[in-house]
Amino acid sequence: MKKGNEKHWIWVPLGALAALFAAAKARSTEKHRPAHSGACKHRWLWPMIFVALSLFAGIAGGVLITRQYYQRHVLPSRPTVQWQIAENEVNPANWGQWFPDHYQSYLEGLEHAGEPPQKIKLRPALEILWAGYDAAPSIREHRGHPYSLDDVTREAPLRNNQAGCLTCKAAEAPLLLEQMGTDFYKKSFSEMREDVQHPVSCSACHDPETMGLRLSREPFIQAYVRAGGDLKNAGRQEMRSLVCAQCHITYYLDKESGEVNIPWTEEPNISNVEHYYLALSEYRTWEHALTGAEIPKLRHPDYEFFLGSTHHDAGVSCADCHMPFMIKGDRKMTSHSFESPLETPLASCGVCHRESEEYLVQRIERIQADVSGVLSVVEDELVQAVQMVEELRQKPDADPEDIRIAQELHLRAFLHYDWVFAANSMGFHNSREALIILSEAMRLAKEVQLVVLQAGL
């Protein structure tokens, strides 16, 4: 159906209603019928009108709902200009010459200026849970995509100063990786920073020739296929999540080669990632200063956490909520400001959820508050577990095996906690899974405490 034709659908129920009234009028004027009183002669007319109005209301409602569905899901925003963008163009401003409305939407991400807060200052328990983690001060709340290069430039020297940090933060990274191969990863961040100028933007997700969605981050492509994903048959709706997933997943940088590795060998869930790190201790991030456990630090496992959620199972994509459709003049386009749905509740949620804006916001915030509350309880138990292991290690006669068991349990408890904490959304992306995982983190933290107590502390 051509764009714009859907507005004429409303004439279908109107035409049906007119036909019914015409038929009723013709029947009421028939002269060959026996004479009756006025009331009896037209006693069938009002039920007929009621049926017609009910039919009209039903058809009209169906038309409006179907029209809205088509606008939301079936009629994507299609470019109406003939653009000319070079194959390796990474400057978003040059894309914006052909798509100015999309570019201006992208630039709205610059409104989130100011210094993003350090997470370690937002949750006091992290001082103990991250003890010995040198990069802790660099972990902050996230800002918009236009700030990706600025933020990583500030953070990388506090971490490992490896070029791999640019993989998802710089628009030029895929081109440099293609040109240099694995030598790209062997460079320091400072060296490669001189070769990049633009933050992640249009070229990360769009083919410049067709404007179709594409994947550009090779580490994700390899991991997705390794975990059983089928990119060749991925539909457009699935791609509306995968283009986000190529960066919004957990990963680590290999200590020797500097390469970006994604800890997926099977389905990307907490259980398989836990097995991965238990089997490969050399890929853990840091040694905890108090327990001595080698701990892996997760990085925003947003896509992994979203899988299996209510919204994911219903076919909702990341872009449906974070890049809602919007009307610009007489055209419909996809927002590129990458906002939280809390900023656009009616556009992001209102297509499927018919409640008021106030209700939608309160519902989201209540879910997040519930998860945050459970997270705080788990933090308290983890802090106590860490302090008990620290005391056990200080005992001269402590059994090394008891310490080893306690350290491994500490690793597992922290990993479950971090799966929820490190992901964005404070549990909303998959609130049921969040509570299940946090309950396991709680159980493991209690098990740490039990091991220490049984060791005679």
Tell me which CATH code domain 359-454 carries: 1.20.140.10
Higher-scoring residue by pLDDT: 56, 182 = 182
Distance in angstroms (rounded) separating the CA atoms of residues 407 and 413: 10
> What's phi and psi for 179, nearest 5 deg?
-75, -40
Distance in angstroms (rounded) separating the CA atoms of residues 367 and 372: 9
Average pLDDT over residues 172-187: 97
Higher-scoring residue by pLDDT: 20, 326 = 326
Query: 147 with 301: CB under 8 angstroms?
Result: no
pLDDT of amino acid 16:
54
pLDDT of amino acid 240:
98
Distance in angstroms (rounded) separating the CA atoms of residues 8 and 65: 14
Which residue is it, tokens 């106590």? Answer: 384
Residue 7 scores a pLDDT above 50: no
Q: Which fold has domain 92-355?
A: Flavocytochrome C3; Chain A, domain 2 (1.10.1130)
At 322-344, the pLDDT tens digits run 999 999 888 889 999 998 999 99
At 374-403, the pLDDT tens digits run 999 999 999 999 999 999 999 999 999 999
Distance in angstroms (rounded) separating the CA atoms of residues 416 and 429: 16
Average pLDDT over residues 141-168: 89
Domain segments of the chain as ranges: 5-74, 92-355, 359-454
Distance in angstroms (rounded) separating the CA atoms of residues 223 and 395: 44
The model carries a pTM of 0.83
At 340-366, the pLDDT tens digits run 999 999 999 999 999 999 999 999 999
Average pLDDT over residues 410-437: 98
pLDDT of amino acid 1:
37
DSSP per-residue letters across 110-127: GGS-S-PPBHHHH-TTHH
Strand partners, 294: 287
